[in-house]
A and B are shown apart, each in its own frame.
Chain A
Amino acid sequence: MSAAALATAPLERPRRSQFRMLLAQTRMNFVWYFWRDGEMIFWSLAIPVFFLVVFSFALGMGSAQRASAFLVPGLIAAQVFSSGFWGVGAMLATFREKKLLRRVYLTPLNPWTFFSALVLYRMTLLAMQATLLILAGALVFKVHVVGNPFAVLGILALGAATFVALGTVIGALVKTAESANNFASVLTVPLSFLSDAYIPINNFPAPVAHALRLLPSTQFVDAFRGIAIYGEPIWHYAGWMGALVLWMAGAIAVSARYFRWI
Chain B
Amino acid sequence: MGTADAIVVDRLVKRYGDLTAVADISFSVRRGSIFGLLGRNGAGKTTTLESCIGLIAPTSGTVRVLGFDPADRRDLARLRPRMGVQLQATSLPEKATVGELLRLYGTYYGLRGNPASVASRVGLGDKLDRFAGKLSGGEQQRLALALALQHDPDVLFLDEPTSGMDVYGRHVLWREIGALRSSGKTMILTTHYIEEAEHLCDEICIVQTGKIVARDTPAALVARYGGDASIEFAARGFSVGAALAGLGRWAHDGDRYTLVARGEPGHALAKIVEYANALGVTIAALDLHRPSLEDAFLAITGERIEDPRSEAA
Besides A16-B81, A28-B104, 9 new A-B residue pairs in contact (Cβ under 8 A), listed by A number: A1-B179, A3-B178, A13-B109, A28-B93, A32-B95, A37-B95, A102-B55, A105-B54, A108-B110
Q: A210 vs B163: C-alpha distance in the bound complex, in angstroms? A: 61
A–B pairs, 14, beta carbons within 8 Å: A6-B152, A7-B183, A12-B112, A24-B107, A32-B93, A32-B95, A99-B90, A102-B87, A103-B92, A106-B54, A106-B87, A107-B108, A107-B109, A108-B108
Q: A7 vs B180: C-alpha distance in the bound complex, in angstroms? A: 9
Q: Is the CB of B183 within 8 A of A100?
A: no
Select one of B89, B91, B104 contacting A25, CB under 8 A. B104
Q: A2 vs B183: C-alpha distance in the bound complex, in angstroms? A: 10
Q: A24 vs B108: C-alpha distance in the bound complex, in angstroms? A: 9
Interface string of B104-127 (1 = CB under 8 A from A): 110111111100010001000000
8 Å CB interface, B179-238 against A: 179-180, 182-183
- A262 neighbours in B (Cβ, 8 Å): 55
- Give the 3 A-B residue pairs with the shortest CB-CB distance, closest first: A3-B179, A16-B110, A107-B108
Q: A149 vs B111: C-alpha distance in the bound complex, in angstroms? A: 40
Q: How many residues of A contact B (CB 8 A)?
A: 33
Q: A34 vs B104: C-alpha distance in the bound complex, in angstroms? A: 17
Closest to A13 in B: B110
Min CB gap A219→B, angstroms: 36
Tally of A-B Cβ pairs under 8 angstroms: 88
Interface string of A6-28 (1 = CB under 8 A from B): 11000111111100110011001
Select one of B85, B108, B110 contacting A15, CB under 8 A. B110
Select one of A3, A31, A32, A108 contacting B109, CB under 8 A. A108
Q: Is the CB of A103 within 8 A of B87?
A: yes
Q: Is the CB of B91 within 8 A of A98?
A: yes
B11 at the interface (CB under 8 A from A): no
Instruction: Contacts A100-B90, A100-B92 given; indicate if A14 touches B110 (C-beta within 8 A).
Output: yes
B96 at the interface (CB under 8 A from A): yes
A201 at the interface (CB under 8 A from B): no
Q: A107 vs B107: C-alpha distance in the bound complex, in angstroms? A: 10
Q: Is the CB of A108 within 8 A of B81?
A: yes
Interface of A, secondary structure class, is loop
Select one of A2, A28, A98, A108 contacting B100, CB under 8 A. A28
- B111 neighbours in A (Cβ, 8 Å): 12-13
- B121 neighbours in A (Cβ, 8 Å): 1
Q: Is the CB of A20 within 8 A of B107?
A: yes
B83 at the interface (CB under 8 A from A): yes
Q: A7 vs B93: C-alpha distance in the bound complex, in angstroms? A: 32
- B183 neighbours in A (Cβ, 8 Å): 3, 6-7
Closest to B70 in A: A106
- B117 neighbours in A (Cβ, 8 Å): 1
Min CB gap B47→A, angstroms: 14
Most A CB contacts (10 A, CB to CB) among B83, B90, B182, B183 go to B90
Q: A197 vs B294: C-alpha distance in the bound complex, in angstroms? A: 68
- A64 neighbours in B (Cβ, 8 Å): none
B158 at the interface (CB under 8 A from A): no
Most A CB contacts (10 A, CB to CB) among B53, B55, B91, B107 go to B107
B290 at the interface (CB under 8 A from A): no
Q: Is the CB of A14 within 8 A of B90?
A: no
- B96 neighbours in A (Cβ, 8 Å): 28, 32
Interface string of A82-102 (1 = CB under 8 A from B): 000000000000000011101
8 Å CB interface, A110-154 against B: none
- A17 neighbours in B (Cβ, 8 Å): 110
Q: A31 vs B93: C-alpha distance in the bound complex, in angstroms? A: 11
Q: A13 vs B113: C-alpha distance in the bound complex, in angstroms? A: 10
- A6 neighbours in B (Cβ, 8 Å): 152, 179-180, 183
B80 at the interface (CB under 8 A from A): yes
Q: Is the CB of A102 within 8 A of B90?
A: yes
Q: A106 vs B91: C-alpha distance in the bound complex, in angstroms? A: 13
- A33 neighbours in B (Cβ, 8 Å): 93, 95
Most A CB contacts (10 A, CB to CB) among B53, B103, B108, B111 go to B108
- B53 neighbours in A (Cβ, 8 Å): 106
Min CB gap B34→A, angstroms: 14
Q: Is the CB of A106 within 8 A of B85?
A: yes
Select one of B55, B81, B93 contacting A100, CB under 8 A. B93
Q: A109 vs B179: C-alpha distance in the bound complex, in angstroms? A: 27
Closest to A101 in B: B90
Closest to B87 in A: A103
Closest to B86 in A: A103
Min CB gap B150→A, angstroms: 11
Select one of B87, B95, B107, B178 contacting A21, CB under 8 A. B107
- A108 neighbours in B (Cβ, 8 Å): 77, 80-81, 108-110
Min CB gap B181→A, angstroms: 8
- A2 neighbours in B (Cβ, 8 Å): 179
Q: A106 vs B111: C-alpha distance in the bound complex, in angstroms? A: 16
Min CB gap B11→A, angstroms: 24
Q: Is the CB of A16 within 8 A of B108?
A: yes
- A102 neighbours in B (Cβ, 8 Å): 55, 87, 90
Q: A11 vs B64: C-alpha distance in the bound complex, in angstroms? A: 27
Most B CB contacts (10 A, CB to CB) among A7, A24, A36, A107 go to A107
